Amino acid sequence: MISMIWAMDENWLIGKDNKLPWHYPSDLKYFKDQTKDQSVLMGEMTYQSLKSYYVKKPLPFKKVYVANVEDKIYSDAIHVKDLFTFLNSTKEDIMIIGGKTIYKLCLPYANKLYITYILKTHEGNVFFPKFDLNQFNLTNYRTDEGLIFAVYERDAL
């Protein structure tokens, strides 16, 4: 199963200068709870961003895949050069954790979305690519600290 997780504001903003534009402890906890012990896939930019927070600690995932079209060797991650071959052939449950480019490329393969809605607007320069959420069914919904944590699913593609 391919899942995706992200947080966005009312304008679908997700990033600012390769960092999150906000700090919401309840969303960070939610992200950690959903991704702990999971195999995750992210793009090079998001990997660099996460590494700036985890300078001395290992990334808190079971297995880390990093998509990058350049040839690259990572000490703590598996390089995915051919993203579509990977998505079409993997037998693992994969959680896609960003950023914008990788979300856009992976969305057609996703069966499950974990979206945190931030009910205000922030400053930033990276937006989630617009798509039709009606392709998915809402299967879970809760609010916390002014955030909405929603889960959507659709049948395997």
Ligand X SMILES: NC(=O)c1ccc[n+]([C@@H]2O[C@H](COP(=O)([O-])OP(=O)(O)OC[C@H]3O[C@@H](n4cnc5c(N)ncnc54)[C@H](OP(=O)(O)O)[C@@H]3O)[C@@H](O)[C@H]2O)c1
Give the residues lining the site for ligand X (CB under 6 A). Answer: 6-7, 14-15, 18-20, 42-46, 49, 67-70, 80, 83, 97-102, 105, 126
Of the pair 22, 92, the CB lying nearest ligand X is at: 22
Of the pair 70, 123, the CB lying nearest ligand X is at: 70
Nearest distance in Å: CB 7, ligand X: 4
Nearest distance in Å: CB 143, ligand X: 18
Q: Cα angle vertex 100, ends 98, 105, to 5°?
A: 85
Nearest distance in Å: CB 72, ligand X: 8
Of the pair 19, 154, the CB lying nearest ligand X is at: 19
Of the pair 104, 154, the CB lying nearest ligand X is at: 104
**Cβ contacts of residue 142 below 8 Å, gap of 6+?**
148, 149
Nearest distance in Å: CB 39, ligand X: 16
Nearest distance in Å: CB 116, ligand X: 7
Of the pair 6, 109, the CB lying nearest ligand X is at: 6
d(C-alpha 90, C-alpha 24), whole Å: 33
